[in-house]
Amino acid sequence: MCGRFTLTHSREELARELGVAPESLGDYRPRYNLPPTDPHWIVRTKLEDREALPARWGLVNSWAKDRKSGFKNINARSETVQTQPAFREAFKSRRCIVPADGFFEWTGPKDARRPIWFHRERGGLVLFAGLYESWQTAPGEWERTFTILTTEPNSRVAEVHNRMPVILTDESADEWMYRRQEAGALMKLLRPAADDLLIATPVSARVNSVKNDDPDCLTATSALL
């Protein structure tokens, strides 16, 4: 599962690493504790170029009457994404990447949860495999939403949780977004990240509250995994 993540890059850094124009990121701001149903950004391909678009985390299908399903659909299991009604059409033609630079999982008892931040050692992007949909919030008004695909964990994440987000390389991200890619080739991309891609850093318990979204959330602690 991926239930909280970060994207702390500046607008210019993010645009450069994604290969999009900085102005396309609109009102982007760094996020240190991004929760489900919040607005974020996705990237898809348009002709031969990448396009950054605003979207809300939690996929809501076009036929939905309200956004209640959004929280339930923050993640999609890669093993069943081709058959689940909420995701199968998006899997065919509305694939995207979700830019981040880390995600959280928790250890410890319920009354003393300790957040672990999984991230690249030198702060590089992690590109989650995603799907997107749009639904009408009111007649003529559309909202874009997305989900993050998950898979079995690599050995590093398995110490904390039994699922992890699918993380794509820059090359495989382009394969994932290519509209005419065959389903078999796509499924091969939905695998655990290399064991040495991420490091696990225990961070401040401020992350436990979605009200906190600032650099202090990522203050390293001495807590042990």
Q: Which residues are catalytic?
A: 2, 105
Name, in order, each residue with C-beta under 8 angstroms of 81's C-beta and a sequence gap of 6 or more: 87, 88, 91, 131, 149, 190
SS3 assignment, position 117: strand
Residue 134 in contact with residue 144, Cβ under 8 Å? yes
Q: Please report how many Cα atoms fall inside a 13 Å half-sphere around the Cα of residue 168, on the Cβ side.
A: 26
Strands (E) in the chain, as ranges, are 5-7, 31-34, 39-46, 49-57, 75-77, 95-100, 102-107, 114-119, 126-138, 141-151, 164-165, 167-168, 199-202
The DSSP output letter for 24 is: G
